[in-house]
Chain A
Amino acid sequence: MSDKMHIKLNVNGEDHEFLAEPRDLLIYALREKLNITGPHVGCDTSHCGACTVTVDGKSVKSCTMFVAQANGAEITTIEGIGQPDALHVLQESFREHHGLQCGFCTPGMITRATKLLEENANPTEEEVRFGMAGNICRCTGYQNIVKSILAVASELNSAKEAAQ
């Protein structure tokens, strides 16, 4: 076993300091050391995207990042995007358009979708599908996931137009 490292993370605006082995993966540090269990472990092989979090502005599969790599980073998880009594507009939209069935992939889907809409506020359906290609839904609810994201984009854009 290698020596433990002193790790500092800012997660959802809150500073955390803890000891971890460098080999600990970010997803396990978040879930098991910080009890932030929104990001899920799906495949554990960087295919499914259920563990997606935002690290310094990048969508990252946290099963494929050592906690040592993330040391000093700012991280956003689904818990930092919305709360049960104050859902994010994407969460509302997933509820409205039935963008989830079992819900296991949803935290990763929504975390990725927030970044997608931040980079491209007015995506085509094809751009949504391409931009969400790193997230797998084994209920295969893709139609409604894409519909949920497109509805938010259109809502945000009409709000923007109205404000102008």
Chain B
Amino acid sequence: MIPAAFDYYRPKDVEGVIALLQEHGDDARVMAGGHSLIPMMKLRMAEVPHLIDLQDIAALKGIAIDGDTITIGAMVTQHELINHDGLSAAAPILSEAALQIADPQVRYMGTVGGNIANGDPGNDMPGLMQCLDAQIELLGPEGTRKVAAREYYEAAYMTDREDDEVLISVRFAAPTGGYSYEKQKRKIGDYATAAAAVQITKAEGKVATASIAMTNLSDVPVWSEDAGDALVGTTCDTEAMKAAVAAMLGDIDPTEDNRGPVAFKRHVAGIILTRAITRAWDRA
């Protein structure tokens, strides 16, 4: 399992990255922790003649909590995210989700930006960022632009990012109310058979707002607006949860693979979402 040969670059700043991307076009790719890209390169499913390692770019490594706005740099690792006290207090759903990604060794290397950027439908951060209504910040030759996480994913491994752009950070308002990230997987370290990210706020005993996103149940993450709407104004009783699950099932489009047939995935999606709503409501 030896990957194809490549030239290796480790620029010190984002300007250097953009210059390399402009010079080499399609033949260049950036690498964050490498724990998605390197396995693909070893299988020769990805060939990268010019590999740009982002590890030396300090500007991509920060976590900032400014009032109720949270900004996470692309090179923040899952391990750093889990162990950041301020973040665990301001947005506890992040560490709850990150602890369910892969295993300790992978979380030391795997980054928030890589997980969001590469467009693998199995990744957990894309659905989570849709649940939180995050803005993804991209830097290109013309400067930066922001894209809503809910608009970013086009198909498996296809995103709104252009070849000469780099994902530099993700930003969202600190969530309020109750939260839950529930994930069904075959074994620890696996990608989800189904996963649900839920944030719920409560007012006068009823659901005031609800945001629901599902992972690995389509070729893109699925933010189900109808599922959230089905809960708003209810007491989050069994009927309301059933309506939310029914709405969610109308939005997902799972395919059969080694995690099971379509009927099984839809069944698991319903159970996982019910658990996530129940827990988020208990915490609201």
Question: Which residues does A use to contact B, with CB under 8 Å?
Answer: 1-3, 5, 21-23, 25, 44-47, 49, 52, 58-61, 64-66, 68-69, 71, 112, 116, 130-134
User: In chain B, what residue has the closest Cβ to A116?
Assistant: B104
Q: Is the CB of B104 within 8 A of A134?
A: yes
Question: Which residues does B use to contact A, with CB under 8 Å?
Answer: 1-8, 10, 34-35, 38-39, 41-42, 51, 53, 55, 79, 102-106, 108-109, 188-189
Q: Is the CB of A64 within 8 A of B5?
A: no
Q: Is the CB of B109 within 8 A of A66?
A: no
Q: Is the CB of A47 within 8 A of B5?
A: no
- Kindly state the separation between the CA atoms of A80 and B265 in the bound complex, as whole angstroms: 46
Which of B42, B79, B188 has the most CB atoms of chain A within a 10 A radius of its CB?
Answer: B42
Interface pairs A-B: 8 shortest CB-CB: A134-B103, A22-B8, A58-B108, A134-B105, A2-B5, A68-B8, A133-B103, A133-B188
Q: Is the CB of B34 within 8 A of A23?
A: no
Partner pick for A60 among B3, B10, B105, CB 8 A cutoff: B105
Q: Is the CB of A134 within 8 A of B8?
A: no
Partner pick for B6 among A23, A25, A71, CB 8 A cutoff: A23
Chain A hits for B7, CB < 8 A = 2-3, 22
Partner pick for A64 among B4, B34, B104, B189, CB 8 A cutoff: B34
Q: Is the CB of B38 within 8 A of A60?
A: no
Chain A hits for B103, CB < 8 A = 49, 133-134
Expressed in whole angstroms, the minimum distance between the Cβ of A49 and any Cβ of chain B is 6
Partner pick for B38 among A2, A65, A131, CB 8 A cutoff: A65
Q: A45-B42, A59-B108, A65-B109 are in contact. List 9 more A-B contacts (CB 8 A).
A: A22-B51, A23-B41, A44-B1, A46-B38, A58-B108, A60-B108, A61-B106, A112-B105, A134-B104
Chain B hits for A132, CB < 8 A = 104
24 sampled A-B residue pairs with Cβ under 8 A: A2-B7, A3-B7, A5-B8, A21-B5, A22-B7, A23-B6, A25-B42, A58-B108, A58-B109, A59-B104, A60-B105, A61-B106, A64-B39, A66-B51, A112-B104, A112-B105, A116-B104, A130-B104, A130-B188, A131-B104, A133-B189, A134-B102, A134-B104, A134-B106
